[in-house]
């Protein structure tokens, strides 16, 4: 499924975090160092914000509605003797 607004968010985030637009990290670094640093900053900001943005844009309909019935986080069932 294609999410137009999420794609626009990623594009805007990329433009804002492009070196020299909002800031340049590290100041005086080589082109490669600056590119790697801004790539890491982009990945970190995206990781910390993408779920919040998806929930804001698409609401609860984005979350899966399948209950978890087995696995590590499944509720424990009392055993009868």
Supply the DSSP string of the chain, one letter for each residue.
---HHHHHHHHHHHHHTSTTTS--SSTT--HHHHHHHHHHHHHHHHHHHHHHHHHHHHGGGGS--PPP-SSTTSPPPPPP-
For the question of whether the overall pTM of this predicted structure is more than 0.75, the answer is no
pLDDT in tens, 13-64: 999 999 999 888 999 999 999 999 999 999 999 999 999 998 898 886 666 6
Cα 19 → chain centroid:
20
For residue 7, pLDDT beyond 80: yes
Residue with tokens 């978890």: 68
Q: Residue 78 above 70 pLDDT?
A: no
pLDDT at position 69 is 62
């Amino acid at each position: 499924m294609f999410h137009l607004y999420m794609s626009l968010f990623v594009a805007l985030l990329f433009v804002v975090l492009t070196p020299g637009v909002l800031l340049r990290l590290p100041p005086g670094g080589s082109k490669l160092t600056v590119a790697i640093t801004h790539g890491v900053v982009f990945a970190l900001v995206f990781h910390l914000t993408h779920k919040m943005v998806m929930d804001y844009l698409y609401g609860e309909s984005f979350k899966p509605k399948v209950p978890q019935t087995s696995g590590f986080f499944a509720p424990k069932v009392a055993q009868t003797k």
